[in-house]
Amino acid sequence: MKVCLVTRYFSFQNAGLGRVSSEILSGLKSRPEFDVRTVSTNGTSLPSYFAYTLFEIPLRLPRGCDVYHILTPMEGIWAPKDRSIVTFYDLIPLKYPERCGAGLAGSGWKNTIGRVYFKWASSISARASRVVCISEETKKDVMEVFGTDEKKISVIRLGIRPDLEPQEPTIERNGKLYRKERERLTIGYLGQLDRRKRVDLLVRKFRRSRLDAQLVIGGTGIDEAELKELAGRDSRISFEGFLPDEFLPTFYNSLDVFVFPTWVEGYGLPPVEAMACKKPVVVLDDAIIPWEVKKRCIITKDLGLLFSNEVYLRGQMASVDIEGNYAWAKSHSWKECLDKYIEIYKEVAGG
C-alpha cells in the first residue's frame, strides 16, 4: 500500500506534533507492505507555514497514493478527500484563542489571522474520508464546530516510549553526569517554553517559596531567555535545554514530582510519561486538559500554596495512586496507535 504522510515536522525537537509524525513514520517504514512518501517543511515562522500549506503542498503532493494521512488539519487543504485521513489534536485556536502559544497570541493581528486561517483550513480537512481525534473531548469539538458525522470519526489515543519505566536516576549527557540529590526534593518540568505552558508561573511561585528543593526545567522555546532572566540567580533552579529522546526515562526518574502548569492541551503526553515512571503529577485546576489525564493528577488552585511547605507537598504527593497511574500510562502504545491507523488506511484504500 502506498501511503503519503503530510505534516509540518518529522522531528522530536518540535514538540508533540513532531513526535507523533515521527513515530507513525518510523512505524510504517518498519512494515514492508507499506511504501511511504512524506511531505513536510523546515520553515518555522507563521508566514512560511502559511506559504507551505497554501502553495508548496499542492506542488509536492505525490499522485497515485492509496491513502493520504494528513497529520494536522492545516495541511489537508489539497489532499484528495476520498482517500485522505486527517488527525485533529485540538481546536485551541478556535475555542481558546487567548490561551494560544506565542506563535498566535503574541499579537492581536497574528491571533486573528491565525484563528481565521485555522478554521478555514480545518473546515476543509474535516471533509476528509475519515477523521481521527486524539481524545473524546476533541471529537466532541470537531462534531460541534464543523458538523462532522460521528460515524466517520475515530478516537485513537497517542502512545509513549516503551522504555519509560522506573529506574535509577542517573544520566550522562554531553560528558556530564546528572544524579538526583536524594536528600533534596526535586521538582521538574519538561516541554515547550512558551506562554501556553505557563512555565513563568512555575518559576515565579518556586522562587517565592522557601523550599529546600531544586526545580529542573527541560525543553526549549521562544520564552527560554525570559524564563532564565525570571529565575535570576536562584541556584535552586536549573535549565537543562533540549533533552535527546533517549534521555527522557532518566530525566523523569531524576524527579520526585512533575509539575505541568499548562493552560490548555489537546491531551498532554508529558504527564503520562511521568506517570509511566511512577511520578506524581501536578496540574492547575483551571487547566483545560482531557479529564482522563487530569483526574489522575494533583489538582491545585495555587502553586504557591503547594510550595509553601514541604510536608504539605509531600502529603499531596503521597495521596496519588501511583500504581494505578502507572498501569494506565503504560496502556499508551505507539504500536497500538499505528495498528488502529492501519485499519483505517485499509478501509479508506478499499473504498
> What is the fold, at CATH topology level, of the domain defined by 2-159+333-349?
Rossmann fold (3.40.50)
The domain ranges of the chain are: 2-159+333-349, 170-329
Total count of residues recorded for the chain: 351
Residue 295, CB-side half-sphere exposure with 13 Å CA sphere: 5
**pLDDT number for residue 106:** 53
- What confidence score (pLDDT) does residue 177 get? 44
Pairing of strands 2-6, 35-39: parallel
What is the model's pLDDT at position 115?
84
CB–CB of 270/190 below 8 Å?
A: yes
* The 3-state secondary structure of 70-126, one letter per residue: ECCHHHCCCCCHHHEEEEECCCHHHHCHHHCCHHHHCCHHHHHHHHHHHHHHHHHHC
pTM of the predicted structure, to 2 decimals: 0.89
* Contact yes or no for 274/258 (Cβ under 8 A): yes
pLDDT, residue 340, reads: 97
For the chain, 351 residues long, give each residue's pLDDT as a single digit of tens. Answer: 999 999 998 876 555 788 899 999 999 999 999 999 999 998 877 788 889 999 999 999 999 999 999 999 999 999 999 999 999 999 988 888 777 665 555 556 666 787 889 999 999 999 999 999 999 999 999 999 999 999 999 999 999 999 999 987 665 555 544 555 556 899 999 999 988 999 999 999 999 999 999 999 999 988 999 999 999 999 999 999 988 888 899 899 999 999 999 999 999 999 999 999 999 999 999 999 999 999 999 999 999 999 999 999 999 999 999 999 999 999 999 999 999 999 999 999 987
Q: Are 126 and 73 in contact (CB under 8 A)?
A: yes
| DSSP β-ladder status, 298-300 and 176-179 | unpaired
Q: How far apart are the C-alpha atoms of 248 and 277, rounded to whole Å?
A: 10
CA–CA dist 165, 159 (Å, integer): 14
Residue with cell 482517500: 83
Would you state the pLDDT for residue 93? 86
CA dist., res. 297 & res. 319, Å (int):
10
Residue labelled with grid coordinates 524527579: 255
SS3 245: helix
- Do the beta carbons of residue 291 and residue 195 sit within 8 Å? no
CA distance 338 to 161: 13
> Which residues make Cβ contacts (< 8 Å) with residue 338, sequence separation at least 6?
23, 24, 27, 28
Give the Cα separation of 69 and 345 in Å (integer). Answer: 8
What separation in angstroms does the CA of 304 have from each of 200, 212, 215, 230, 343? Answer: 13, 14, 14, 16, 47
| 2-159+333-349 and 170-329 share one fold | yes
Looking at residue 256, what DSSP letter applies?
S
Is-contact 192 221, C-beta < 8 A? yes
**Rounded Cα–Cα distance for residues 101 and 93 (Å):** 9
Contact (CB, 8 A) for 281 and 321:
no
Give the CATH number of domain 170-329; options: 3.40.50.300, 3.20.20.140, 2.40.50.140, 3.40.50.2000: 3.40.50.2000
Helix (H, G, I), strand (E, B) or coil at 105: helix
- Quote the CA–CA distance of 346 and 351 in Å, as a whole number: 9
